[in-house]
Structure 1
Amino acid sequence: MTVVTVNQSIQAINNSIDAILNVSESLSEETIRWNPTNEEWSILQIISHLNEAVPYWLNEIDRVLAEPGAQWGRGLQDAARLAAVANPNELNISEQFAEFKELKQKVADGLGSLSEENLKAENPHRNFEKFGNKPISFMIEHFLEEHVEKHYSQVQRNLSKLD
């Protein structure tokens, strides 16, 4: 992954954020809070999750760059991850959307200054058997770029299930 590709990743992440905003900002509160099933998140939960997850991964990249060889990653049962979606009735839609819009600048700030050397730096995942040693570029592609894009697809899937 080169610096050009970093810029492309920033743009792709921001495009997915914009796409989520474009399809969801004008929806009713009822639709934003609606869960298609008990196992699926509402659009508001998706946004709250991304508001927690994107900064987590940006911080994780900073941390492993500062601590070469440090383990990275977290499990699905991570307390902060679960808390972001645990009480959707307590989430303020306006605040969540405002925070979500700020992610674009956080992504640009967090990734924009990474060098080619930074992108190649490898660290072991906490679940080494699953991921092994991976470079920072993998973290960007998988846990930021693809992650936000998949949640845009989830928003679209939610909307397709409306009556």
Structure 2
Amino acid sequence: MTQNYITSVNESIDRIIETISGLSEETIRWQPTNDEWSIMQIIAHIVEALPYWVEEIEQLVETPGKVWGRNHLHEGRLEAVKPETVNAISVNEMVKELEKVKQTVQAGIENLTEKQLSAEATSVNPNFGTKPLSFIIEHLIDGHVNKHEGQIQRNLSKLSSKSSN
């Protein structure tokens, strides 16, 4: 069951890497508005978030029923996308980190059993409530990277419409 998610995550990350490999540093670091992330910030978020969720899964396997998750104000999440943090990292370094994320996700979820995947626990995020562990994989790892892949495409479309004005 988890193999489909591993494949999906890998394909999304590969498409992101392929997309950014043809872009200038300026484009990758361009922020559409003060309220929107640059492509580099999006990638930095993926590099921080997916291992975070894999770690949450590992903790839930070790301690079934443990409260899991975080909100948008989580310190690690915010630190990863701060301009000072992102500006200190090269695009090539970030691409290497994205490659590592694929391995982290695979190692973290490939051997989970049906029993582990169906074990339920309550999230600190009231929007999620009580969910099976598979929810984290489906929504917060696979769906998450997929959503951010789309966000990168939206940034690029905003940039192309900006340059055509």
TM bucket by the smaller chain?
over 0.9
Q: How many residues align?
A: 158
- Runs of 5+ consecutive residues of structure 1 not aligned to the other structure: none
The answer for the alignment partner of 2:69 in structure 1 is 73
Deviation for aligned residue 1:69: 1.6
The answer for the alignment partner of 1:113 in structure 2 is 111
1:1-163 alignment, distance < 5 Å: 3=1, 6-86=2-82, 87=84, 88-127=86-125, 129-162=126-159, 163=163
For 2:99, what is the secondary structure of its paired residue? Answer: helix
**What one-letter code is carried by the residue in structure 2 that aligns with 1:52?**
E
For 2:131, what is the secondary structure of its paired residue? Answer: strand
For 2:73, what is the secondary structure of its paired residue? Answer: coil
**Per-residue deviation, residues 73-98 of structure 1 (Å, max 9, x unmatched):** 00100000000011232222221111
TM-score, structure 1 normalization: 0.93
- Runs of 5+ consecutive residues of structure 2 not aligned to the other structure: none
Equivalents in 2 of 1:109, 1:59: separation in Å? 11
Stretches of 4+ moved more than 3 A in 1? none
TM-score, structure 2 normalization: 0.92
Equivalents in 1 of 2:103, 2:77: separation in Å? 21
Seq. identity, %: 47
Equivalents in 1 of 2:22, 2:129: separation in Å? 42
